[in-house]
Chains A and B, each alone.
Chain A
């Protein structure tokens, strides 16, 4: 219901949005993604043409649409953690404070975003319904009822949500920048800085949730696979994290402490990768978010 609000909001600016969520049009959809731009840089003669195509095919969401998208993600995270920390005896006392801190932060993000959206004259979306079995509302998704009965499952889903949240905010930085003129310098500074500040807190959460499952606080990908959590269900959430090309530079060619080339594990851990709005919604809508 509320997700329809956000999709409608995007469709006002970008009538093809629904089509773009269709995987058959992934090539067009991803034209504005960072990786594709880098690929384009490698083909200078095609560059101008493809930029024009990208501009023709994709519009920038408004500040309110971006903030409502963020709010939708925060609703998901807030509910996910609230269910867990409020379930007596589910999270052991020694680690409960970690998840309580995160639950509190996510609900603060919800309140903050609602206030910001109102302050810029927008209408905040209301919370969608969620299905933590990842069944899109059936309640019988691949996770069954394990998220709140099996601590390890809860902890792994938390990691995937946090790492995805980091990617989602990062993916909107350029869209916020594209609204700079329309928003004016002061509002732009406020909104971008707030988004970056939430992004950093999500990264702190990601680090902590990863530490709690004994993983590295940062994402260590291989050339073949972005996902380092061992949970194949969330491969899509990490796809692209294996990128080692930064600003056209293959960072594995840069020198490490010993003066040798840099390993893929260091190269992927040192840079987190963004994820587009389309990609994030495609991962979450119909699984955790009920359409």
Chain B
């Protein structure tokens, strides 16, 4: 299944300009930020073997990392809603549809924010998921949500811009709300279980390398982060 193809609409471009004007605090900063991702040394490239690289270290790379994960989640829930598992109760369908809508908005937000700096649309591979089976779907949903929370928590310190950091915070808590719901659907009361929350009461966090290894098992288009010590096998 393929995510929405890349489009260039006037609205998104306008939105991107205003985002970068704000986030970069000025035109000069935008130039520098844009140049960082477009230098000959660190272009965002598509390689037949290593797939797509999120680019040079910096906020654009982290935003593209988030964009990749949100593409994956949006594609997953789109399929879940399109082909609901057998016997799905109405309340579960409503909740999973709401999560789909959140993930699509996250994806569209990053796409608009990154504009021409965005990595391409990724092609997913959900062949390991049985979309007719509740346990298979919710198990995959738990993996996506828990991984998403760990990814944002683990990459927060790599973000240089305060506005970007707060934006990541605005999204990660929604992912954690999803994660808690999905866990409770699988095992009631497991919303903060020891598989995700340690003995200090802290949620687990994960490195870019660890997260992309998992994400790539669901992607035909592999994602690499060569400047963050990870190249897809």
Question: Which residues of A are in contact with B by a Cβ distance under 8 Å?
Answer: 34, 37-38, 41, 44, 47, 51, 97-98, 101-102, 104-106, 108-109, 111-112, 166, 169-170, 173-174, 177-178, 188-189, 192-194, 196-208, 210-211, 216-218, 246-251, 253-257, 262, 266-267, 269-274
Interface of A is mostly: helix
Pair B157/A197 contact, Cβ less than 8 Å: no
Find A266's partner among B4, B15, B105 (CB 8 Å cutoff).
B105
Is the C-beta of B205 less than 8 angstroms from some C-beta in chain A? yes
Q: For A188, list chain B residues within 8 Å (CB).
A: 157
A76 to chain B, nearest CB (A): 15
> Which chain B residues numbered 1 to 26 have a C-beta less than 8 Å away from chain A?
4, 11-12, 15-16, 18-19, 21-23, 25
- B78-106, CB under 8 A of A: which get 1 and which 0? 10010000000000000100101110111
**Contact, CB under 8 Å: B152 / A204:** no
Tell whether, in the assembled complex, residue B15 and residue A250 are in contact, meaning their CB atoms are under 8 Å apart: yes
Residue of chain A at shortest CB distance from B12: A254
Q: With contacts A204-B179, A247-B23 known, is A196 near B108, CB below 8 A?
A: no
> Once the chains are docked, how many angstroms separate the CA of A99 from the CA of B162?
34
User: Taking chain B's interface residues, is the majority helix, strand, or loop, or is none over half, making it mixed?
Assistant: helix
B156 and A204 form a contact (CB under 8 A): no
Partner of B173, one of A37, A200, A254: A200
A41-B21, A249-B19 in contact; A170/B181 too (CB < 8 A)? Answer: no
Cα separation A215 to B99 with both chains bound (whole Å): 15
Out of A173, A204, A210, A270, name the residue touching B165 (CB < 8 Å): A173
B16 to chain A: which residues have CB within 8 Å?
249
B199 close to A (CB within 8 Å): yes
Quick check: B174 and A271 within 8 Å, CB to CB? yes
Cβ-based interface call for B169 (8 A): yes
Whether A101 contacts B102 by the Cβ 8 Å rule is no
- Can you list 19 residue pairs at the A/B interface with Cβ under 8 Å? A98-B191, A105-B201, A169-B169, A170-B170, A174-B165, A199-B176, A203-B174, A203-B177, A208-B180, A208-B191, A217-B95, A218-B177, A248-B22, A249-B19, A249-B109, A270-B174, A274-B166, A274-B169, A274-B170
